[in-house]
Structure 1
Amino acid sequence: MPTENNDQIRGPFGGRTINALGGDDHIYWGGNDGSAVLYAGENNERFDPNPYSPGNPGGDRLFLTGNQGAKVWFGSTEEGTVTIGNAVLKFFGVERLFGTSGDDHINAGNAILAPAHGGTPTHGMSIYAGGGQDRIFGSRFNDIIDGGNGNDTIWAGDGDDFIQSSPGHDYIHGGAGDENIRWGLGDYIPPGNDTISGGAGSDLINIWVVNSDERTGARVYYNTAESGYAISTMGGVRNTLRFFEMEQGWTHRANDTVDGSGASIGADRIGINFNTRWGNDILIGTSGNDTLEGGEGRDTITGGRGNDIISANGESYNPRAPGDGEVDTLRFQPGHGSDTVIGFDTGIDILDVGGRDYSATERADGTLLNFGNGDQILLSYVFDFI
């Protein structure tokens, strides 16, 4: 019998109405469990919609079982209808949905926002589709969507969504809003050959691949300031990501290479915005105005032409940021333009200017190196370089 605590509820249900009461309940239902109506409850749930919270805590979870695909329609972000074969489940108060191992069709495109209740804030969808070749349509709110294994198609809809590309060959479109779309699961699992488009908004392609030696990472190449491709060899398998309409990029731990030197830059001169975060990375900018962040590790950063912001520690937003204590190499060739370097460690980092002469002037915001012909470098809030 359901309680006000955290319950696990399983069928068969045989036409019954199930009231799960309070707590963070796990409800399991499949086509063989018979049609039913489920009220998952609203009290004592401690639901956390943050996708980075370990274990995605809180909330009532509906697990769809079996290998026959489900058709799921959401009327609100917590209420909807599931059909598997001839069985129908109407559900209310479900914060997280987990799909079958078959080919699911999940549609939240017309869902309205469920009100806050019992410590649970208003939230978008949390959909984990499982195996199979799934088709998922998100809501207009801030969703969390994971297609699971298989060759999935995901249209996230409006809102600022977090989308996980799991193993398989997926197509993902972020829609409107500021998306965080992750390619790879981070731990030695081949990510699949995927095509990902951010859509409208300011979107992040979050490349999370690393081999078991934690040295070999991703190789990323830009064709334009917002599009390109990435290569992973995780698990001994070569996979390729093709990405479009991505205003920002990240890689993670391991030694990554990001190369924007072949990118075509538009009349606005906006270049790439990329942070390689951890590892000993190689980061090469475009001919436009780039933001290049090396993060922690011994990085080699080449800005290229254009007026760039280059951060040796991954904090381009903080002009006073200290260095990371690692030996970073920052390379500037003639014609690089007017650049700003953040997080420079005097006596540790290497500033490679090709042996050119320059004049150095201390200012209130750091030390300005002037090479003539429009080339200059501001070492932001560095006053011990001269």
Structure 2
Amino acid sequence: MANYGTTFDQAIITFASVAPDYGFNLAEAFAIWDPWMEPDFVRAANFMSADIQIDQGPIDGYGGTLGNCVTYMSGTTITSAEITIDEADPDQDHLSVLAHEIGHAIGLDHDDDPTSIMYPYSMGVITLNAANITELQSLYGPDSGDNYLVGSAEADNFSGGGGADTMFGGTGADNLRGADGADLIFGGKGNFGDYLDAGNGNDTVYGGDGVDTIHGGSGNDALGGGGGTDRIYGGDGADLLFGGGDTAADDLNGEVGNDALYAGAGNDTLNGGTGNDELGGASGNDVLQGGDGNDTLYGAAGNDTLYGGNGADLLFGGTGDDQIYLGTSDGAADIYASVADNGDDTIFGFENGIDRIDVSDNGFGSFSELAIAQDGAGNATLDLGGGDVLTLNNIAVSALDESDFIFLTLTS
């Protein structure tokens, strides 16, 4: 195998096409080469500005030459290349043909090995053999691992590999995988659902529009859903998960580690998983589940449902009318913290002598200041002032004393 001794002298090589659909995503052909060389291939914003331009037109009729490439140079530096796919052969394997012509565009010559992608006759080869990689890296060097990948309106399938990769999915239903390194992944603006997997490393992933599935993998990741109904899984590590700004209902799962999960504008479900997690609601009617560990849950503005789960949890209802579940009868001391303009909250699973209610923000300094009554359903009700009432489900007033509360402490 040989090369022409010419190369692009730039970190990013752009490509574009005005040709019709070849039956595959154009970026797939460039993705065959990209992981093995230092420059990255990126789709150009428009055809005329692209370093490698791809078109379909006449060459020599049906059954002859399937594609050709013309390169333009300044000395030994390639300045641009034009690839033509023969329009007379619509039933051919255009992916392998285009991959072959890309080899010419970046400086590789023909090879007499039928297993080589640079063999002059189409054999359907769409992977690089060892000789291809050696020759390619003699021109451009090996990939540093930091890839910059840009998708299209089609369904893109990218794998960044090692290194700190940046990936933009475009408007199709994309499958983007970051693998190792601190990756930056954007699903794109399409209404189709993306699958985004950050892999290892401390990654940042944003789903964009559409119904997305996002996995953080290992590492301390920041994962955002964007628009649409998204499912987000933090994986291992101390992760930051946040829902979108629209009213679609998101599902956020911290999984393993001490995570922070924050709802968006929709009616979201947050599950902290294992670890000591922080969960925050927003304007929707959210469901917050602490899971295992000593968790902190903030209910915010909607009518929320909070589950402390196992561990010693701290729960804030927020300003809506909330349902508060202090968790299992595990003997761990949970605290429900009332706030001013608390709304009408109901507490389930309150354990006398173990769990406590913090009424300091309501201005109460002692047990004698509390107005507690028994309702007709056998529940204790506490008047918090301002029209807000706290209900303790299935708790008798006689069972309550000052040890069940946290009061305002005045300091001089």
> Normalising by structure 1, what TM-score?
0.49
Larger radius of gyration between Structure 1 and Structure 2:
2
Between Structure 1 and Structure 2, which shows a larger proportion of helix residues? 2
> Normalising by structure 2, what TM-score?
0.46
Between Structure 1 and Structure 2, which shows a larger proportion of strand residues? 1
